Structure 1
Amino acid sequence: MNQILYKNILIILGWFFVLLGMIGIVLPVLPTTPFMIVALAFFAKSSPRFHQMLLNNRLFGGALKQWEDSKTVSRRSKYRALLLVFASFSISIMILHGKLGLQAMLVTIAIIFLIFIWHLKEEVM
């Protein structure tokens, strides 16, 4: 009974992170791939079917397979993510002109995201 409950909780969490990742496709402030990686980890422990579904997805399956195999990202993906974070946060900061507290918060979050992305290991060719 406890094993079934544990698996169901992991499946629910996996779908929650898939949903966040899907929202991230539309909302540039939310990063899609990290949420999908977390969902992949939950599904790996609870549902082989959902795990394979993510790995076979045509949009982000390749990046997830690479992450699962080698814990690396492509240099192109890394630079694209850095650019997207920089651009989306810059626009958000400009929109909040005159609201220094919110701007400072966004700058702090952007710096954390940029450092995190920068430190991801790149695939070795």
Structure 2
Amino acid sequence: MSVATASRPPIRPGAGRASTSSAAKSGGDTDIRLVARSIAQAALEVLAGTRPLIQLSRSLNPECYLALQHRAVLTRKHAARSKGNPQPHLSPMVRSVRACSISESICEASIVVAEEGRCRAIAMRLERADGIWQVTALEIG
């Protein structure tokens, strides 16, 4: 008695598996996208007045920290002067995050965030120092 089997194509070494470098790179990109997402969300909450800025002190370099602090103060002053009924704040929702690795320790990210009546773009440059990602440039549109 014979058993008939379907012929299979020859198996190439490494077929169906990602190379170690590309797997590590995609894992690193996933980590940086999560970091960028959380920092962007937190920065918008600081501007809205629902999160204290001090919570971002480890994530932002001194220049970005001072710039965000200044913008938050200006935003609160503008909100106090504007007339009308203030609506309850709804949390911004991150729609997408794109990350580009410049080197092993430098990445740039662009984030699209939906707020109450509009979408905003955020761009940031992150640099890794002592195992911690820190924002060295932050632009909020």
Q: Which category of TM-score, normalised to the shorter sequence, fits these structures? A: under 0.3
Normalised by the length of structure 2, the TM-score is 0.24
Higher-Rg structure is 2
